[in-house]
Amino acid sequence: MKVLRIILGDQLSAGISALRGLNQESDIVLMMEVMAENTYVPHHKQKIVLVLSAMRHFAEELRQDGVTVDYVALDEPQNTGGLTTEVQRAVARLAPDRLVVTEPGEWRVRDMVDGWEAATGLPVEVRADDRFFASRARFADWAGGRRVWRMEHFYREIRREHGILMEDGQPAGGVWNFDAENRKKLPASTLAPARLRFAPDAITRAVMTLVEGRFGGNFGEVEEFGWPVTRADALRALSDFIAAGLPRFGDYQDAMKAGAPFLFHSLLAPALNLGLLSPREVCEAAEAAWRAGAAPLNAVEGFVRQVLGWREYVRGVYWTLMPEYAERNALHATRPLPEFYWTGDTKMRCVREAVSSTARFAYSHHIQRLMVTGNFALLAGIAPREIERWYLAVYADAYEWVEMPNTLGMAVFADGGQMASKPYAASGAYIDRMSDFCGGCRYDVKQKSGPDACPFNYLYWAFLIRQTERLGGNQRLAMPYRTLAGWTAERKAAVVAEADGFLDGLEG
C-alpha cells in the first residue's frame, strides 16, 4: 500500500497528524508550491519568502530523516499552479493507493480538499489538526447553547483543562486575569531590547531572488527578512523572547513607541502559525520562566492568555461560523480602503508608523493592528472585506483562520458583537496615552475640530453619531452616548460634516 501524504505550507511540524504511521519504504510526502496560494491575496513579499523557504527547509529535514519527498517548486515548468491540479498530477506520476492529509487551516483550502476524492478517484483520509489545545469539536461543544461567547470564559476552561498556570485547581496567583496591570505607558527612557533576527541562508536567499523576480510589485520590502524558517531557529527565537521580551511583556503589552515596532512582543506568531513551534511548548516555556523567577506572573499570564486564550478562541469562532462569517458587515461599512494603507503616505503619524513597520518587517504588534489601523478602519467605515483582505496580505503571520475573526470581530465590529462586547473605537486620546506618536505629528491630539485637529477625534464622535441606531443601546458605550445626549443637533451635524470632509478627501 503506497500512501501519498500531503503537507500544506502551514503544516510544517514533524509531529503533524498526516505523517503519523508513515512507512519510509513505500510512502511519499508531497509538498507543492503553487501560484494560487501565492496570489489569493497580494501577499507581502516577506510572507511569501517565509512560507516557501520554511517549506523547502522542512522538505530537506524530512529527506535527511529518510523520508521520500516529492517537492514541486514554484518555477518548475510543469507546475499547474493549483493545489488540486498538482495533487492530480502527483497521483498520475506516483500512482499511490490512497491520500492522507491533515485538515487545512482555512475554509477555502478545506473546500478544495473535499473535492480530492472526486478529482483523483482515490480514497482521501483527512486527519484532525491536533496542534492546538482545543479541537474544533471542543470549541463547538463549549459554544453550543451559549447565547453569548466570551473569550474569558473559554480561556479559563481550557487553562484548567490543560493545567497551564494552575495550582491546586486554582489559577496561579489566585486570579485569572492581570489585564489591569498590563496597560502601562512606556517611559521615554525605556529602550526596546535588541531582538534576534535570522540572517537568510542559501535556501532563503534563493527564494528571495525568486520572489523579487515573480512578485517584485507586491507590497513590502524583502531586504530585512529575518524570520525563523526552521524549527531550530524558531526554538532560538522562543529562547530570545523568554529572556529579552517576556519579563516586560505584560507591563508594556499595549504600549507603542515610534521606531520600535517589536518592543517586548514575542514575534512568534509566524513560527507558530507555520507549525515550527507548538502553542503548548511556548506556554510551557513561559510558565517555566515564571516558576524559575525569571518573569513576573502578570507577564506570563498575559502571554498565555494570548496563545492559549485568544489564538484558540479565534480559531473556534472561525470554524464554527464560516463560511457566512466572511460576509458579515453589521455596521454597513462601504468605504474603499484608502491608498495610504499601502503607501504609508499620510500625515497621521500613528498610521504612518504602523504601515512603515508593516512594509519593512511584515509585522506590527497587536495594538498597532487593533487601535491604529483597525481603529481607523472602524471609524472611517471601511468595507470589512477590503480591510480584511489587507490584513491577510500584509503580515508574515497572516492566515485567514486567525486574521478574519480578529479583523471582522475585534477591529471593525463587522460581526455585530460575536467576538467583542463593544467596538474598540477610540479617539486620539487613547493613542496619545499609549504611545509617543502624537508629539511628532502634524495634527494636534488635543484639538477636537479644525484643520489641525487629530482626525481620530472628530472621526470617533462622528462614528458614534452615525451608528446611534445600532450601538446606542450597548451598555458598554453608555458613557460616550450620555455625553452625546448633551450635544445639540447642530454640534452633531458639524462633527459629522467635518468627518465627511476629511474622509472624502482621502478618496480624491
Q: Does 34 bind ligand DLZ (CB under 6 A)?
A: yes
Q: Does 215 bind ligand DLZ (CB under 6 A)?
A: no
Q: Does 50 bind ligand FAD (CB under 6 A)?
A: no
Q: Does 366 bind ligand FAD (CB under 6 A)?
A: yes
Name the packing angle between helices 136-143 and 151-162 (round to 10°): 130
Q: Which residue lies nearer to ligand FAD by CB, 11 or 406?
A: 406
Alpha carbon distance 247, 408 (integer Å): 31
Q: Does 349 bind ligand SF4 (CB under 6 A)?
A: yes
Helix, strand and coil content of the chain, in percent to the nearest 5, comes to 55, 5, 40
Alpha carbon distance 194, 263 (integer Å): 9
**Pick from 30, 274, 295, 454: which binds ligand SF4 (CB under 6 A)?**
454
Q: Smallest gap, in angstroms, from Cβ of residue 406 to ligand SF4?
A: 21
Q: Residue 337 CA to chain centroid, in angstroms?
A: 19
**Phi, psi (degrees; rounded to nearest 5) at 28:** -130, 140
Q: Which residue lies nearer to ligand DLZ by CB, 63 or 146?
A: 63
Binding mask 64-103 for ligand DLZ (x = CB under 6 A): ----------------------------------------
Rounded to the nearest 10°, the torsion over CA 379, 471, 145, 179 is 60
Alpha carbon distance 146, 150 (integer Å): 10
Alpha carbon distance 505, 508 (integer Å): 5
**Pick from 83, 411, 459, 503: which binds ligand FAD (CB under 6 A)?**
411
Place of cell 526596546: 192
Alpha carbon distance 216, 203 (integer Å): 18
Q: Smallest gap, in angstroms, from Cβ of residue 504 to ligand DLZ?
A: 36
Binding mask 376-415 for ligand SF4 (x = CB under 6 A): ----------------------------------------
How far CA 447 is from CA of 380, 429, 438, 487, 496, in Å, comes to: 19, 10, 12, 18, 16
Q: Using CB under 6 A as the criterion, which residues of the chain lie in contact with ligand FAD when the complex forms?
A: 265-269, 272-273, 303, 306-307, 310-311, 314, 365-366, 369-370, 374, 391, 395, 397-399, 402-403, 406-407, 410-411
The contact set with ligand SF4 (CB under 6 A) reads 348-350, 428, 431-432, 437-438, 441, 443, 445, 454-456
List residues near ligand DLZ by CB under 6 A.
8-10, 32-34, 37-38, 43, 48, 51, 104-106, 109, 399
